[in-house]
């Protein structure tokens, strides 16, 4: 077989789906879905997989990775016409979360509607009996999460010795969830003569090592800078006191252009707390996280898709399992501990060529997390402010060199305070290009930081009783009557 040139060459960046060589039933389903032009990842991966090449692909979320591997796999089912033996599958697709596994299976059914492939979904959270019975007949496609798949392999309910193709989707998230040892065991159970595709939003060293161990001369395809959010997303950050986040979230979700939003919480308890606050404010919200049963999670996603729920509160376990068109806003209520997760989270908006808005709430303790995110994406995020009950428009971030993204060294000032702030007599903006305002990570002069001033202003939100007034008075006395303002 003649091996094609690198999949990043112009020969692979075809303009129309009908130029990719897909079987007529698949092409007809794609056109019925309203697609005529493949995305860059699709125009590169589909021909390479049709040629039988192993794939090592890097592309941002929302760029069409799922169709990039499901379409050529469907084409092989049409052209081969072979049924897998009992307990076996022709193609195995591994996914990190139940939601993503279900949506991959849904895509297979959608694009294979004119050929009716057999598809089994094997995942935790539901009884294994129906999954075992489905696999007993043998299937064209097995979409699985690693844990449940290993369980059924151990019981003899699933065999992988007849599998011809394996796809590892969102490999970096499977690594984050601790699935790498399980993935290695699964790969070792597959035939040596097979096709392997590894697709990921980022390419950390552990994933590249996995590729070196199990992929044979892979076609490396990268259609976007690693860990850079797509340009169609309008990003900004709100510097805010933690206690004011709920009030700011209600304000952010109440803007006229809010259509459908996903809010990310760091914890399950926090997600449930956010739902209660939003429902009390008259907003239709629901949570999806690991403590919810699979039926609850599916029902919540269905309500979100149909518009019965307009705001979905999610933890990171669902971050890359949500592929729903029309998400206008993504709000990071809590910044993620792993900076790469920020890219995955905001990738829920601006999908299929649309635009979107991503807002990150950052309190004082999360500043190091924000700095890590800005290092990863390579630029500072524009800063919004929360004025009473409204979020202001974001101000453009200064165009600063990369070295300014590193943490500044702390110095002892004349007053003995630790920090890198300027002296009170120094003109604001002096020493910075074009008189730019100080970035959100630096304290102001005058004895009170911008964060403290903003926190004092936000203390009025949601609480105007005497206790709140006494707390504000104590803060003023503690600061010695400093008059610096956050506004």
Tell whether 240 and 205 lie within a shared domain. Answer: no
As a whole number, the mean pLDDT across the chain is 80
Enter the tokens of residue 353. Answer: 């060529």
| pLDDT given for residue 445 in this prediction | 38
Same domain as 243, residue 194: no
Inside any domain, residue 191 = yes
Tell whether 157 and 261 lie within a shared domain: no
Residue 372 has pLDDT above 70, yes or no: yes
Average pLDDT for residues 295-306, to the nearest whole number? 91
Per-residue pLDDT band for 224 (boundaries 50, 70, 90) equals low
Residues contacting 56, CB < 8 A, separation 6+: 198, 211, 215, 218, 219, 220, 221
The verdict on residue 417 lying in a domain is: no
Range of the domain at 31: 10-222
Residue 319 · residue 337 · CB < 8 Å: no
* Mean pLDDT, residues 383-401 taken together: 71
Among 249, 257, 439, CA closest to 332: 249
pLDDT at 7: 39
Instruction: Give the closest residue to 193 by CA, choosing from 207, 214, 209.
Output: 214
Q: Same domain for 303 and 358?
A: yes
What's this model's pTM, rounded to 2 decimal places?
0.66
Token output for 298: 């599916």
Q: Are residues 209 and 266 in the same domain?
A: no
Q: For residues 451 and 364, is the Cβ–Cβ distance under 8 A?
A: yes
Percent of the chain predicted with pLDDT > 90: 54
Q: Is 17 helix (H, G, I), strand (E, B) or coil?
A: helix
Residues 193 and 272 in one domain: no
Number of domains observed in the structure of the chain: 2
What pLDDT digit, counting tens, does each position of 90-108 carry? 999 999 988 899 999 999 9
> Residue 140 pLDDT more than 60?
yes
Report if residue 139 sits inside a domain: yes
Residue 73: predicted pLDDT:
97
Q: Is the CB of residue 362 less than 8 Å from the CB of residue 240?
A: yes
Which has the higher per-residue pLDDT, 407 or 281? Answer: 281
pLDDT higher than 80, residue 216: yes
Same domain, 92 and 132: yes
Query: Could you tell me the CATH number of the domain that includes residue 372?
Result: 3.40.50.300
**Is pLDDT at 470 greater than 60 in this prediction?**
no
Residues 6+ apart with CB under 8 A from 458: 240, 241, 243, 244, 247, 248, 386
When pLDDT is averaged across residues 363-370 and rounded to a whole number, the result is: 95
Same domain, residue pair 218 and 285: no
Residues 157-181, mean pLDDT to the nearest whole number: 92
According to the model, what pLDDT value does residue 398 have? 57
Q: Could you say which of 222, 241, 258 is where a domain stops?
A: 222
pLDDT at 293: 84
Per-residue confidence band for 442, with pLDDT thresholds at 50, 70 and 90: very low
Residue ending a domain, choose from 198, 222, 246 = 222
67 contacts 352 by C-beta, under 8 angstroms: no
Take residue 248 and report the two structure tokens written for it: 């700011």
Are 189 and 328 found together in one domain?
no
Whether the pLDDT of residue 144 is over 50: the answer is: yes
Question: Could you say which of 187, 222, 257 is where a domain stops?
Answer: 222
| Beta-ladder partners of 398 | none
Domain membership of residue 2 (yes or no) is no
The answer to whether residues 230 and 65 touch, using CB atoms and an 8 Å cutoff, is: no
Q: DSSP letter at 364?
A: G
Q: Give domain status of residue 4, yes or no.
A: no
Within-domain flag for 483? no
Determine which of 133-142, 313-322, 402-411 has the lowest per-residue pLDDT on average. Answer: 402-411
pLDDT in tens, 17-60: 988 999 999 999 999 998 889 988 999 999 999 999 999 998 87
Q: 16 or 430: whose pLDDT is higher?
A: 16
Residue 416, pLDDT above cutoff 70: no
Q: Are 187 and 216 in contact (CB under 8 A)?
A: no
3-state secondary structure 382-396: CEECEECCEECCCEC
Q: With a cut of 90, say whether residue 82 has pLDDT above it.
A: no
Query: What is the rounded distance in angstroms from the CA atom of residue 467 to the CA atom of residue 463?
Result: 9
Segment (H or E) for 48: helix 40-50
Please indicate, yes or no, whether residues 294 and 170 belong to a single structural domain of this protein: no
Report DSSP letters for 390-424, one per residue. EEPPPBPPP---GGGGSPPPPEE-TTS-EE-PPPT
Residues 255 and 399 in one domain: yes
Is 285 inside a domain boundary? yes
Phi/psi of residue 384, each to 5°?
Answer: -95, 160
Pick from 57-71, 157-171, 182-196, 368-382: least confident: 57-71
Per-residue pLDDT at 452 exceeds 50 = no
Residue 74: its pLDDT value, please? 97
Q: Is the pLDDT of residue 141 over 70?
A: yes
User: Does residue 400 lie within any of the structural domains?
Assistant: yes
Instruction: Please indicate, yes or no, whether residues 281 and 205 belong to a single structural domain of this protein.
Output: no
Give strand pairing partners of 311.
Answer: 261, 285
Please tell me which of 1-15, 142-156, 313-327 the model is most confident about, judged by mean pLDDT: 142-156
């Amino acid at each position: 077989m003649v091996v094609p040139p690198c999949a990043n060459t112009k020969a692979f960046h075809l303009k129309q789906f009908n130029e990719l060589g897909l079987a007529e039933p698949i092409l007809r389903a794609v056109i019925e879905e309203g697609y005529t032009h493949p995305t860059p990842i699709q125009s590169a991966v589909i021909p390479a997989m049709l040629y039988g090449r192993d794939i090592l692909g890097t592309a941002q979320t929302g760029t069409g990775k799922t169709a990039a591997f499901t379409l050529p796999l469907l084409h092989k089912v049409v052209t081969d016409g072979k049924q897998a033996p009992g307990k076996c599958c022709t193609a195995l697709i591994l996914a990190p979360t139940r939601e993503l596994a279900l949506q991959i299976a849904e895509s297979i059914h959608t694009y294979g509607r004119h050929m009716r492939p057999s598809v089994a979904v094997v995942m935790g959270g539901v009884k294994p009996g129906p999954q075992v019975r489905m696999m007993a007949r043998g299937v064209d496609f097995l979409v699985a999460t690693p844990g449940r798949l290993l369980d059924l392999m151990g019981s003899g309910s699933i065999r992988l010795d007849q599998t011809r193709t394996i796809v590892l989707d969102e490999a970096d998230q499977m690594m984050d969830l601790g699935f790498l040892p399980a993935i290695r065991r699964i790969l070792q159970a597959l035939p040596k003569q097979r096709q392997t595709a590894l697709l990921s939003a980022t390419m950390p060293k552990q994933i590249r090592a996995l590729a070196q161990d199990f992929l044979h001369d892979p076609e490396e395809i990268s259609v976007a800078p690693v860990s850079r959010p797509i340009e169609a997303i309008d990003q900004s950050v709100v510097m805010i006191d933690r206690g004011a986040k709920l009030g700011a979230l209600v304000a952010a979700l109440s803007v006229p252009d809010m259509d459908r939003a996903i809010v990310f919480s760091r914890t399950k308890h926090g997600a449930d707390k956010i739902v209660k606050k939003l429902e009390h404010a008259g907003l239709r919200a629901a949570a999806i996280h690991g403590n919810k049963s699979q039926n609850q999670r599916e029902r919540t996603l269905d309500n979100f898709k149909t518009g019965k729920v307009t705001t979905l509160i999610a933890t990171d376990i669902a971050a890359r399992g949500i592929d729903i068109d029309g998400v206008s806003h993504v709000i990071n209520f809590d910044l993620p501990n792993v900076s790469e997760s920020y890219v995955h989270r905001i990738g829920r908006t601006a999908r299929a060529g649309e635009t979107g808005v991503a807002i990150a709430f950052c309190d004082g303790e999360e500043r190091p997390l924000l700095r890590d995110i800005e290092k990863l994406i390579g630029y500072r995020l524009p800063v919004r402010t929360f004025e009473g009950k409204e979020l202001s428009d974001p101000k453009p971030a200064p165009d600063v060199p990369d070295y300014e993204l590193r943490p500044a060294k702390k110095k002892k000032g004349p007053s003995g305070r630790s920090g890198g702030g300027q002296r009170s007599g120094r003109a604001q903006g002096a020493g910075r290009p074009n008189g730019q305002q100080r970035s959100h990570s630096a304290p102001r002069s005058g004895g009170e930081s911008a964060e403290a001033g903003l926190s004092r202003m936000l203390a009025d939100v949601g609480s105007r009783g005497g206790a709140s007034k006494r707390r504000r008075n104590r803060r003023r006395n503690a600061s010695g009557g400093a008059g610096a303002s956050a506004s």
